[in-house]
């Protein structure tokens, strides 16, 4: 009888542990379901900010004229401020993201061709990888781009539009004081996939 009592106590403890584990896992999964809605919203918000920053203000969209260093510096500061509103409180992270964005912006603009519209839409989220208080979101997207340029033969101003699909976009977020903040974005900025900065060297926070 004593042996049976010991066995019963062991079985009961095991069942209690298993039940507690199931309750915990269910709670975590439910919390993640709620988080995913907010996380997607945060991803869309930072994409909207990046889309806005990937087009120079209208008064800087002058074909045949080089953007002054003063205007360029002023715009770069504006980009940092916009990114800082959505990102974690880390100057280095904002600086890295800003440099990447500006580099790709300048890579796609010159005196004879200027982007006038840039719009990225998330087509499908392919994964949420949770690691502690961070999550990496991977997704497919479609980018629409409009440009104005000078015709090489006539010298007249023309417009063009194109779209391309991405295959490896990702955004890393961190939960800080109950709020999800952007840590880093790794997006495809053109149809060739050759972004102006090598993102493999970026340090994660």
Q: Domain segments of the chain: what residues?
A: 2-201
Task: With CA atoms as reference, report the closest residue to 114 among 189, 164, 76, 58.
Answer: 58
The dihedral sign for the CA sequence 98, 101, 107, 108: negative
pLDDT (0 to 100) of residue 199: 40
Distance CA 118, CA 54 (A): 6
Predicted confidence at residue 84, as pLDDT, reads 96
Selection from 128-132, 187-191, 201-205 with the highest mean pLDDT: 128-132
pLDDT of 154 reads 80
pLDDT score for 197: 47
pTM: 0.78
Kindly report, residue by residue over 25-73, the tens digit of the pLDDT.
555 555 567 889 999 999 999 999 999 999 999 888 888 788 888 999 9
Q: pLDDT tens digit string along 121-158? A: 999 999 999 998 999 999 999 999 999 888 878 878 88
Residue 186 to residue 137: CA distance in whole angstroms? 10
Tell me the pLDDT band of 189, cut-offs 50, 70 and 90: confident
Average pLDDT value for residue range 161-185: 94
């Amino acid at each position: 009888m004593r042996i049976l009592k010991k066995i019963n106590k062991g079985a009961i403890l095991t069942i209690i542990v298993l039940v507690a584990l199931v309750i915990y896992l269910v709670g975590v999964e439910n919390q993640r379901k709620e988080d995913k809605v907010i996380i997607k919203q945060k991803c869309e918000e930072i994409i909207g900010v990046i889309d806005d920053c990937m087009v120079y203000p209208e008064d800087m969209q002058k074909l045949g004229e080089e953007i002054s260093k003063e205007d360029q510096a002023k715009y770069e500061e504006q980009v940092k401020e916009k990114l800082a509103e959505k990102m974690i409180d880390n100057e280095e992270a904002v600086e890295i993201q800003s440099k990447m964005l500006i580099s790709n912006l300048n890579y796609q603009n010159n005196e004879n061709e200027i982007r006038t519209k840039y719009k990225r839409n998330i087509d499908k989220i392919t994964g949420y990888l949770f690691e502690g208080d961070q999550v990496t979101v991977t997704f497919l997207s479609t980018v629409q781009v409009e440009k104005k340029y000078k015709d090489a033969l006539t010298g007249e101003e023309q417009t063009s539009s194109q779209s391309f699909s991405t295959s490896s976009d990702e955004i890393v977020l961190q939960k800080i004081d109950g709020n999800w903040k952007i840590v880093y974005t790794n997006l495809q900025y053109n149809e060739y996939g050759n972004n102006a900065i090598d993102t493999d060297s970026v340090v994660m926070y």
